[in-house]
Amino acid sequence: MAEIVLFHHIQGLTDGVRAFADGLRAGGHTVHTPDLFDGERPATLEEGAALTKRIGGAVLDERADRVVAALPKDLVYAGISFGAATAQRLAQTRPGARGALLYESCLPVTGEWAVGPWPDGVPVQIHGMDKDPFFALEGDVDSARELVAIVGPELGELFVYPGEAHLFTDGSLPSHDADATALVLRRSREFLDRLG
């Protein structure tokens, strides 16, 4: 079974993020859900963006680094939207990653905005909606396609779902898509099962 750290999205560690983690746990996996916002749950994406600006990127990175420092090296890094950026950074920079699950976001792995190269042999699975204004229309899906091409079909998977919702995997938000989330969780558990 895998040990996973799941980073929340920009509206915080909501009940929907906790429920999503429970969906991963249903496969017998251990899932840690750190709260990088210290209990704050912004009501909107805009309020979440303002909170992250107020806290600052360096402080948020430090909080995430402190969380994983207390966990084993051989983690699967997972994150939803804002949290996927944290998960991806750690998967790319902290030795020992077993895999990465990136939900509704993917950063470039080449070019000037890249965190660095993708580590050899680390599998990745990416999920997002085809008309999501952030994932599909701001270039994340292109970064996801590039990453999957780099790691190859044995290690990389990209799943794109019909719809325009962002944070569709969070059952506590109006943007939730229950059918798509069920499929995301099934595919995620299959990915985790393949890790052994």
State the Cα–Cα distance between residues 162 and 67, nearest whole angstrom. 34
Q: What is the pLDDT of residues 39-86, one digit of tens each?
A: 999 999 999 999 999 999 999 999 999 999 999 999 999 999 999 999
- Reduced to 3 states, what is the DSSP secondary structure of residue 54? helix
Q: What is the pLDDT of residues 123-177, one digit of tens each?
A: 999 999 999 999 999 999 999 999 999 999 999 999 999 999 999 999 999 999 9
Q: Where are the beta strands (DSSP E) in the chain?
A: 3-7, 30-32, 76-80, 99-103, 124-129, 156-161
The pTM of the full predicted model, rounded to 2 decimals, is 0.97
pLDDT category at 111 given cuts 50, 70, 90 is confident
Q: Which CATH number does the domain housing residue 20 bear?
A: 3.40.50.1820
Count of structural domains, the chain = 1
Residue 47 structural domain = 3-194
Position 143, amino acid: S
